[in-house]
Structure 1
Amino acid sequence: MRDLPEQPDLPGGGLCRRPGWLLAVAIALALGMGLWGSAPVLAAPGDIVDCRPPFNLSNSPGYVSVDPFLLSDPTGVVHLFWAERTIGEPGDIPNVPDALMYSRWDGERWSKPVDIFISPRQYFNRRIAGIRGVMDQQGFIHLVWMGPDNTFFYSAARADRAGSAQGWLPPLLLGDDQSGTQFSVDIAYEPPRALHILYGRSQPQVNRTVTYIRSVDGGATWSEPVDVYTFLDFERGASNVRLLTEPPGKVYATWTEWDSSGNGQAVYFARSLDSGSTWEEPVRLAERVGDEYERDWTTLAVLEPGRLVALWEGGFRAYPQTQYSDDGGATWSAPIDTFFWLIADNGFGEFVRDSTGRLHVFLVRRIREGYSHLCGRFVGCRGDGNTIWHSVWEAGVNWRDPRPVGGFHDSNFISVAMNLGNQLFLSWFNYDNPETSLDIFTMQCTVEGAPALAPQPWPAVDMPTPTPVATAWPTPTPLPEVTATPAPVVSVQATPVGRSNPATPLLVGALPSLALLVLAVMVERIRRRGR
């Protein structure tokens, strides 16, 4: 083997002249920690690994398929719902979903998609959208979805019978006055039998509201509606509604306030401390100012008992922002541009926990302008395309530097579910690829360092039966009225509480390699002086 010629000294001394073993180790460590290029990084606990290629589950060219929603159950089955157009010819106008579709993962494969609900034929606009649901402790799936002409419906089925339309209760018309805007209905579950629903309401000739109903008997009967918030401007209303429960008895709600421009003007938070019986005065988390873009897409998570995080999109542009509350939502920190090199307006961020209790967040974004150099960290990176990014809440103080999940895939409006503690399931629909535009995709991955949980059988419980009614599209049976009790308006703190600079994780991660480089330089200089 021919020896390489001796390298000449470079200006500045001996760092590059016959580097010794220490310098080689330092460079290797720096590469391993991702300071240069896209060198592989060892998986840390909580990282997403072993992702299978995305799978086109709907495969419905010419027929729009949107709004996927995932649920997993303790038996190891994963349930996927979405809205799809099933009538007419491919590409017909309007290309609007008219059926609620279903498929299940049995541990080996996805079942053939089936329609479990078809939009009522008496409506000219047969739109179905905004599917949301929960799984209760008795093994029942409870679904709500937006229907045509400002309607929204509820139904339920045992999880093991969800793959058949006959396994579901007849759809219950819960309202014909929802605002009709995107994701304007949500449902949450509070063990053992309580179901909470929040929706944007739009009644003729009155200001729009955010309205709440509940069931305390597993969906058999429902309370009368109560308005949690009334918009003062006749041209404003609610969309992108979300609910979250925290035991005992806490119900948290968020929503977007939109105006005639269609963009979110503010995001709000409200809470009930008595399982929805009374509601405190809502808190405005953030409001659009001047020529800023918007405030929208708020998602909540419980970091630990009484400690909350709200993740939303907005600011001067479509930046991911977080706010924190250490007192159960009474007061909130100022917004923090958290994933500071990501940007996009592509739906909710999604939170999920693994078997260790570790909190994960997933969001569809692209790399922000001005940070395109970071694209070199990731194999296959497309700087101008959206993909799914993942982060982990670490040590109760900060979010791990985000990384793409399973490569770079055109993604929009994701849903996420954790199955048996460490199997991650994701679903989305896409826009950019003309051959698969508006199809439903799924992907499966594993969570590093999270042990698998053993499957558990469902208890033998009969399906709850709603109160009999005479009409084909029944109206809810009233419960005692729920009341909204005003509470003093709580302040939003002017500065973040105990939060660090968003660049801190990058700087901290670089310190060990930089220290080794400095040490190598010092050793080399000492060696030169000793000659």
Structure 2
Amino acid sequence: MVSKQVGRALLVLFGIIVFGASTALAGSGAAGPNVAVSGTSPFAACTADNVTGQIGTNFPNSEVEPWVEVSSVDRNGDGVSDAIGAYQQDRWSNGGARGIVASVLYAGTWRQVVIPGVTKCSGGAFDRATDPWVAISPNGDAYVMTLTFQDYPTFSTSILYVNKSIDGGLTWGPPIQLIRTDSLFMFNDKNSMTADPFDSNYVYGIWDRSRFPSDKRELHSLSGFPRSIRSDAIFVRTTNGGVSWEPARPIFEPKANQFGIGHQIEVVRGGPHAGRLVNSFMLFHGSGSNKKGQEIAVLISDDRGTTWSNPITVRKVLPGFVSDPDDGTPLRTGDIIPELGAGPAGELYIVWQEASLAPSGSAIALSKSVDGGTTWSEPVRVNTRPDVQAFTPSVEVLGDGTVGVTHYDLRFNTLDPATLPTDYWFLHSHDGGGTWLETRVTPASFDSKLAPFARGLFLGDYLGLTTAGSQFLTMFTKTEATDPASQFATSLTP
């Protein structure tokens, strides 16, 4: 989160506070223009990863699954605070992308910067990378965390890297290995990284490590997922600003068939629990033919990650799965990844896709905690159209307590099965989630049928939403007629 003055200066320079061109609904808020922040693939001439020799379909010039953060300082020297987003570049149909690219705001324009040493196309040793995550410390140090692995079908090696930038994202240091797993029966996945807002020495990383204790079937076996699957929550941190990282270690290691995914840490910002780490995730009970339901849960630490609580249930979940209403084509969305946001007075908000709250079968649900994550409110539906599928939500909170939520939906879909008109929406609440106002972010619908297909039409398992003074900044995926998926940034004014 940045100061109101610096944040506004950043967004004015960015050129996205143009209220005359906003798509605001009456009495709601304002969305600036959708500014393209990605470009032509920097890997077009790369042959090191032997694309034609790999199994699967590659989607050149596709950019999906962004994360974005805004700094409180100016490290790149352009006179305003830094903004950095990162995303997958050239997505594969069966897992990962050819590399990770950052888009960096500099002197009013977005520059594309390849994250070095992550894949063969960026000077690394492995074919594919995925799950980029950006974190920026209060002093402006920036980090990108990435999962990299070898090509399909074995995925026998999975490595988590972190690269650091001290100049606002214009250049990045070499990747530091946080963990490497060489096994057909274990896989690191769905990582995230959080910079402590109170102390730039502390940065936290977390992910799930899948393992198979009984039938020894590989994670990505063509015969399907095993009957017995578990996953540990693996945690890592630096206490010296990224100079070194403590050894990765499990903080939740289930003994039964429980599978957690989508781990995200927030730091409580105020109140009696200020400084507490709260990690949210989706927890599945049972697996394969023995599924027994799922819930959103949290783990809590009051000592910056040294010790952690047992899981605390937020809510039992009936996940909202999404498909084209015309022909049933699946969309791969954020249906198994809850998103967590922290407010200035110690309040926390979780959003997720929930089937039970709307006849469409996929609503955006929100639950709130005012006691540091120990207890949570009954969920409420926040998307305005219960009759259409809504998906892939994000949540953040401004310094004045205004809550912002973004999501996609299909309200402008037509009966034509050849296309799938899709839109992106911004909701905000000034009363702690009691009432909501809606703004359309996309001035015109885009066609999700053009998106890369990766176990469904794929825009990303998550999207970027952050704060910049009195506004929100989002980075999201939409398709274009000549491009399967591109990244756009937009300012959102409540």
Same fold (TM over 0.5): yes
1:276-315 pair list within 5 angstroms: 276-287=242-253, 294-303=259-268, 304-315=273-284
- Per the normalisation by structure 2, the TM-score is 0.59
User: 1:74 matched to which residue of 2?
Assistant: 7
Equivalent-residue separation in structure 1 for 2:237 and 2:396 (angstroms): 25
Equivalent-residue separation in structure 1 for 2:246 and 2:18 (angstroms): 41
Judged with a 3 Å threshold, the aligned counterparts in structure 2 of structure 1 residues 394 and 76 are, in CA distance, closer, same or farther, namely: farther
Indicate conservation of the 8 Å contact 2:339/2:352, yes or no. yes
User: 1:426 matched to which residue of 2?
Assistant: 405
1:14-163 pair list within 5 angstroms: 74-75=7-8, 106=19, 109-120=30-41, 121-122=44-45, 125-126=59-60, 127-137=62-72, 138=74, 139-148=81-90, 149-158=97-106, 161=108
Equivalent-residue separation in structure 2 for 1:454 and 1:315 (angstroms): 35
The answer to whether residue 359 in structure 2 is matched with residue 359 in structure 1 is no
* Secondary structure class of the residue paired with 1:338: strand
- Aligned partner letter, 2:7: P
The answer to whether residue 171 in structure 2 is matched with residue 221 in structure 1 is yes
Q: 2:144 aligns with which of 181, 197, 221?
A: 197
Equivalent-residue separation in structure 2 for 1:438 and 1:295 (angstroms): 32
Q: What do the CA deviations read for 1:262-305 (whole angstroms, capped 9, x no partner)?
A: 7883332211111122222223244566665x321111112344
Equivalent-residue separation in structure 1 for 2:243 and 2:469 (angstroms): 36
Equivalent-residue separation in structure 1 for 2:343 and 2:9 (angstroms): 14
The answer to whether residue 160 in structure 2 is matched with residue 210 in structure 1 is yes
Judged with a 3 Å threshold, the aligned counterparts in structure 2 of structure 1 residues 170 and 227 are, in CA distance, closer, same or farther, namely: closer
User: 1:318 matched to which residue of 2?
Assistant: 294
Give the C-alpha shift of residue 341 in structure 1: 5.6
Indicate conservation of the 8 Å contact 2:360/2:389, yes or no. no
- Per the normalisation by structure 1, the TM-score is 0.56
Give the C-alpha shift of residue 116 in structure 1: 3.0
* Secondary structure class of the residue paired with 2:308: coil
Judged with a 3 Å threshold, the aligned counterparts in structure 2 of structure 1 residues 229 and 265 are, in CA distance, closer, same or farther, namely: same
What residue ranges of structure 1 are gaps of 5+ in the alignment? 1-71, 82-101, 162-166, 368-380, 458-531
- Aligned partner letter, 2:204: Y
Give the C-alpha shift of residue 243 in structure 1: 0.5
**Greater Rg by CA:** 1
User: 2:55 matched to which residue of 1?
Assistant: none
Indicate conservation of the 8 Å contact 1:323/1:336, yes or no. yes
Structure 1 residues 389-398 or 107-116, which shifts more?
107-116
Indicate conservation of the 8 Å contact 1:211/1:225, yes or no. yes
User: 1:332 matched to which residue of 2?
Assistant: 308
Judged with a 3 Å threshold, the aligned counterparts in structure 2 of structure 1 residues 438 and 286 are, in CA distance, closer, same or farther, namely: farther
- Aligned partner letter, 2:137: E
User: 1:59 matched to which residue of 2?
Assistant: none
Equivalent-residue separation in structure 2 for 1:307 and 1:421 (angstroms): 20
* Secondary structure class of the residue paired with 1:125: coil
Report percent identity of matched pairs. 15
| More strand, by proportion | 2
Judged with a 3 Å threshold, the aligned counterparts in structure 2 of structure 1 residues 421 and 187 are, in CA distance, closer, same or farther, namely: same
Equivalent-residue separation in structure 2 for 1:239 and 1:386 (angstroms): 25
Give the C-alpha shift of residue 252 in structure 1: 0.6
User: 1:395 matched to which residue of 2?
Assistant: 371
Give the C-alpha shift of residue 240 in structure 1: 1.8
Indicate conservation of the 8 Å contact 1:153/1:171, yes or no. yes
* Secondary structure class of the residue paired with 2:179: strand
What residue ranges of structure 2 are gaps of 5+ in the alignment? 25-29, 47-57, 75-80, 91-96, 121-125, 211-218, 286-292, 321-333, 434-466, 472-494
Q: Which has the higher contact order (CA 8 A, sep 6+)?
A: 1
* Secondary structure class of the residue paired with 1:360: strand
Equivalent-residue separation in structure 1 for 2:169 and 2:235 (angstroms): 25
Judged with a 3 Å threshold, the aligned counterparts in structure 2 of structure 1 residues 237 and 180 are, in CA distance, closer, same or farther, namely: farther
Q: What do the CA deviations read for 1:103-153 (whole angstroms, capped 9, x no partner)?
A: 767585434434332332447631311211210123221121111252111
* Secondary structure class of the residue paired with 1:117: coil
Judged with a 3 Å threshold, the aligned counterparts in structure 2 of structure 1 residues 355 and 239 are, in CA distance, closer, same or farther, namely: same
User: 1:507 matched to which residue of 2?
Assistant: none
Give the C-alpha shift of residue 229 in structure 1: 1.0
Equivalent-residue separation in structure 2 for 1:455 and 1:191 (angstroms): 14
